[in-house]
């Protein structure tokens, strides 16, 4: 084991059995996501980045360990195993963690590795889903974050139904974030595999319309592993564990070959694509609210006309006669549904509109919100400057009231605009035309 002396000196033994298991001591850094580093980065050496996603307990974190052991050249006969992932004993990963493996280039791999381990997400009802999405985006957007990704591994168990709805959601998320070219970088990573031809998985991927990179046979890239290398070796288990090693070793060779030739996904592509998508969604949402408000205003005018028609005589006789009229108006208030802080809104008090709601994560700094282009909002009616927007946890809500009004009050409400005298009925018609043309009062 002389060849591992150096690594062992940087580890703590956690199991003295067969194999001996060592937990690596890593350098930890937290800026947004946690980064665990082994070895020193050398700028001149190439690096490959792998993003691992998939359902819970499919073996993402275990695969991180397997990749490390492969990178440092651990073989079945060495009877040793290294753990890079901490607290591995059956625990779920709860946040995005970045592992960096430096200093073993030219041993088994021609490059250093960056591996992004993610918690299970894809359940869109689960708040953790949004948090993980958010974390990943931060990681790709920050200057000291991930610069490029070479492989997105969809990790799944080699079992009856490996492709679930949640996996499909994860796949859709990945596609929406990285653009359609991402399929050149997506590979299926099967764990718990005995290495048999993966026909069922091929069918399941096809049925779910999940598109992966193609191998030289023009088949979707499916790579198999069986990562149980840390299991205690006994006379009974030895044979099956050795077979598992063979499956994983073949998988690793294929995986490394894939990494060598896969084109890197650049962060700019990811960033711009993602930002534009968020911006458009926000603008559409804003527009829908404006349309709803216009429709309500239109209803108000029509009800007013109706009330005047019915009560015309009474109102002429009695100046203090009231008609009951609905009135739509806008209000800025804290969100009623108690959404989490990362679901804050960005609103414009000038236009009284939600410019980015829900899901504005940049609300604390309106200049950075996706709806701003060159410091101006692309969402609200007046396209107000970023500085006009409010960053608090507030949202614009449309409300309706019933108000009692005399004819005089109505005249005041729909006031003369030009010097040309107009009857109230004419003014109401004019208001309807304005609403139809999209000129809305705040
Ligand atoms: N036999 C076998 N067991 C595996 C394999 N991959 C993972 N396991 C076991 O499956 C369990 C779950 O593995 P994890 O690596 O924690 O799964 P995960 O995908 O990281 O799960 P989350 O962090 O909850 O998303 C662990 O007990 C692993 O030892 C494999 O290929 N073969
Ligand atoms: Mg995990
Ligand atoms: Zn925003
Ligand atoms: Zn705005
Ligand atoms: Zn505005």
Please check whether residues 311 and 260 belong to one and the same domain.
Answer: no
| Structural domains of the chain, count | 2
* CATH code of the domain containing 46: 3.40.50.300
Task: Decide if 441 is inside a domain.
Answer: no
Residue in 34, 51, 56, 57 to alter for ligand 1 test, most ligand atoms within 8 A of Cβ: 57
Please check whether residues 279 and 412 belong to one and the same domain.
Answer: yes
Please check whether residues 189 and 327 belong to one and the same domain.
Answer: no
Q: 363 CA distance to ligand 3 centroid (A)?
A: 6
* Residue whose tokens read 């350098």: 27
Least confident of 127-141, 151-165, 298-312, 378-392: 127-141
User: Stretch 187-198: mean pLDDT, rounded?
Assistant: 95
- List C-alpha distances in Å: 269 to 114, 140, 174, 176, 264: 20, 10, 13, 12, 11
Strands of 112-117's sheet, edge to edge?
27-31, 33-38, 97-101, 112-117, 47-54, 151-157, 186-191, 222-224
pLDDT tens for each residue of 10-51: 999 999 989 999 999 999 998 878 999 999 988 888 999 999
pLDDT tens for each residue of 287-300: 999 999 999 999 99
Average pLDDT, the chain: 88
What percentage of the chain exceeds 90 in pLDDT? 59
Question: Measuring from atom 26 of ligand 1, which residue has the nearest CA?
Answer: 90
Taking the C-alpha atoms of residue 397 and residue 256, their distance in angstroms, rounded to an integer, is: 53
> Which pLDDT belongs to residue 143?
65
Please check whether residues 405 and 383 belong to one and the same domain.
Answer: yes
Strand bridging mode 112-117 / 47-54 = parallel
Q: 8 CA distance to ligand 1 centroid (A)?
A: 24
> Which pLDDT belongs to residue 24?
96
**Relative to the alpha carbon of 379, which ligand is closest?**
4
pLDDT tens for each residue of 255-264: 999 999 998 8
Task: Decide if 382 is inside a domain.
Answer: yes
What's the domain range around 294?
Answer: 272-436
Task: Decide if 207 is inside a domain.
Answer: yes
Please check whether residues 289 and 407 belong to one and the same domain.
Answer: yes
Q: 104 CA distance to ligand 2 centroid (A)?
A: 24
Please check whether residues 56 and 175 belong to one and the same domain.
Answer: yes
Taking the C-alpha atoms of residue 358 and residue 360, their distance in angstroms, rounded to an integer, is: 6
**Relative to the alpha carbon of 361, which ligand is closest?**
3
Please check whether residues 252 and 286 belong to one and the same domain.
Answer: no
Give yes or no for residue 285 having a pLDDT over 50: yes
Please check whether residues 208 and 75 belong to one and the same domain.
Answer: yes
434-438 long-range contacts, CB within 8 A, separation 24+: 435/294, 435/297, 435/298, 435/301, 436/298, 438/294
191 lines ligand 1 (CB under 6 A): yes
Give yes or no for residue 140 having a pLDDT over 50: yes
Tell me which residues have their CB within 5 A of the ion that is ligand 4.
Answer: 348, 355, 377, 379-380
Beta bridge partners of 152: 51, 186
Q: 371 CA distance to ligand 3 centroid (A)?
A: 6
194 lines ligand 1 (CB under 6 A): no
Residue 413 — very low, low, confident or very high, per pLDDT cuts 50/70/90? confident
* Residue whose tokens read 């030009």: 418
Please check whether residues 23 and 112 belong to one and the same domain.
Answer: yes
Please check whether residues 206 and 314 belong to one and the same domain.
Answer: no
Task: Decide if 144 is inside a domain.
Answer: yes
> Which pLDDT belongs to residue 308?
92
* Exposure b/e, 312-340, CB count within 10 A at least 16 = b: eeebeeeeeebbebebbbbebeeeeeebe
Which tokens belong to 338?
């108690």
227 lines ligand 1 (CB under 6 A): yes
Give yes or no for residue 347 having a pLDDT over 60: yes
Give yes or no for residue 178 having a pLDDT over 80: no
Question: Measuring from atom 27 of ligand 1, which residue has the nearest CA?
Answer: 90
Phi-psi region of 438 (alpha: psi -120 to 50; beta: other; left: phi over 0): left
Q: 243 CA distance to ligand 3 centroid (A)?
A: 51
Q: 354 CA distance to ligand 4 centroid (A)?
A: 7
Please check whether residues 276 and 261 belong to one and the same domain.
Answer: no
Which tokens belong to 154?
């969809």
Task: Decide if 363 is inside a domain.
Answer: yes
CB 406 within 8 A of CB 396: no
User: Stretch 110-125: mean pLDDT, rounded?
Assistant: 89
pLDDT tens for each residue of 324-344: 999 999 988 775 555 444 456
Please check whether residues 210 and 306 belong to one and the same domain.
Answer: no
Question: Measuring from atom 11 of ligand 1, which residue has the nearest CA?
Answer: 57
> Which pLDDT belongs to residue 441?
54
Question: Measuring from atom 13 of ligand 1, which residue has the nearest CA?
Answer: 59
Residue 136 — very low, low, confident or very high, per pLDDT cuts 50/70/90? confident
> Which pLDDT belongs to residue 340?
43
Taking the C-alpha atoms of residue 146 and residue 132, their distance in angstroms, rounded to an integer, is: 15
Give yes or no for residue 177 having a pLDDT over 80: no
Among 211, 243, 265, where does a domain finish?
265
pLDDT tens for each residue of 43-100: 888 999 999 999 999 999 999 999 999 999 999 999 999 999 987 555 778 889 999 9
Among 215, 250, 265, where does a domain finish?
265
Residues 6+ apart with CB under 8 A from 184: 213, 262, 263
Taking the C-alpha atoms of residue 398 and residue 342, their distance in angstroms, rounded to an integer, is: 23
Tell me which residues have their CB within 5 A of the ion that is ligand 5.
Answer: 348, 350-351, 380, 382, 384
Among 265, 285, 314, where does a domain finish?
265
- Cis peptide preceding 143, ω within 30 of 0: no
Task: Decide if 442 is inside a domain.
Answer: no
Burial (CB count <10 Å: 0-12, 13-18, 19+), residue 131: middle
Q: 78 CA distance to ligand 1 centroid (A)?
A: 22
């Amino acid at each position: 084991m002389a060849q591992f002396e150096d690594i062992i000196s940087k580890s703590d033994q956690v199991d003295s059995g067969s194999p001996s298991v060592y937990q690596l001591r890593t350098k930890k850094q937290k800026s947004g996501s946690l980064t665990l580093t082994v070895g020193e980065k050398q700028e001149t050496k190439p690096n490959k980045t792998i993003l691992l996603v998939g359902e819970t307990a499919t073996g993402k974190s275990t695969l991180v360990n397997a990749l490390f052991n492969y990178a440092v050249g651990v073989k079945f006969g060495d009877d040793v195993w290294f753990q890079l992932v901490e607290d591995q004993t059956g625990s779920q990963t709860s946040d995005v963690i970045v592992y960096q493996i430096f200093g073993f280039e030219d041993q088994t791999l021609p490059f250093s590795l960056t591996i992004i381990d993610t918690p299970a997400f894809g359940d869109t009802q689960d708040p953790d889903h949004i948090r993980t999405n958010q974390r990943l985006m931060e990681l790709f957007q920050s200057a000291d974050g991930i610069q490029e990704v070479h492989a997105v591994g969809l990790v799944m168990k080699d079992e009856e139904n490996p492709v679930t709805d949640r996996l499909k959601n994860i796949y859709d998320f990945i596609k929406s974030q990285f653009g359609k070219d991402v399929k050149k970088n997506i590979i299926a990573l099967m764990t718990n595999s005995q290495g048999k031809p993966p026909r069922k998985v091929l069918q399941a991927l096809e049925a779910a319309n999940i598109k992966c990179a193609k191998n030289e046979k023009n088949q979707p890239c499916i790579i198999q592993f069986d990562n149980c290398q840390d299991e205690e070796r006994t006379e009974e288990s030895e044979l099956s564990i050795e077979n598992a090693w063979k499956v994983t070793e073949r998988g690793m060779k294929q995986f490394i070959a894939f990494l060598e030739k896969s084109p890197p996904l650049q962060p700019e592509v990811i960033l711009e694509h993602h930002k534009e998508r968020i911006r458009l969604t926000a603008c559409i949402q804003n527009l829908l609210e404006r349309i709803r408000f216009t429709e309500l205003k239109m209803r108000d005018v029509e009800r007013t006309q109706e009330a005047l028609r019915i009560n015309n005589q009474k109102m002429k006789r009695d100046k203090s006669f009231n008609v009951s009229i609905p009135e739509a108006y806008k209000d800025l208030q804290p969100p009623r549904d108690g959404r989490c802080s990362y679901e804050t809104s960005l609103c414009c008090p000038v236009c009284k509109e939600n410019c980015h709601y829900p899901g504005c994560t940049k609300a604390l700094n309106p200049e950075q919100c996706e709806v701003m282009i060159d410091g101006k909002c692309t969402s609200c009616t007046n396209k107000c400057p970023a500085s006009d927007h409010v960053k608090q946890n507030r949202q614009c809500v449309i409300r309706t009231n019933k108000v009692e009004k005399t004819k005089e009050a109505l005249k005041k409400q729909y006031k003369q605009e030009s010097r040309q005298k107009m009857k109230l009925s004419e003014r109401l018609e004019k208001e309807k035309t304005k609403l139809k043309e999209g000129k809305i009062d705040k």
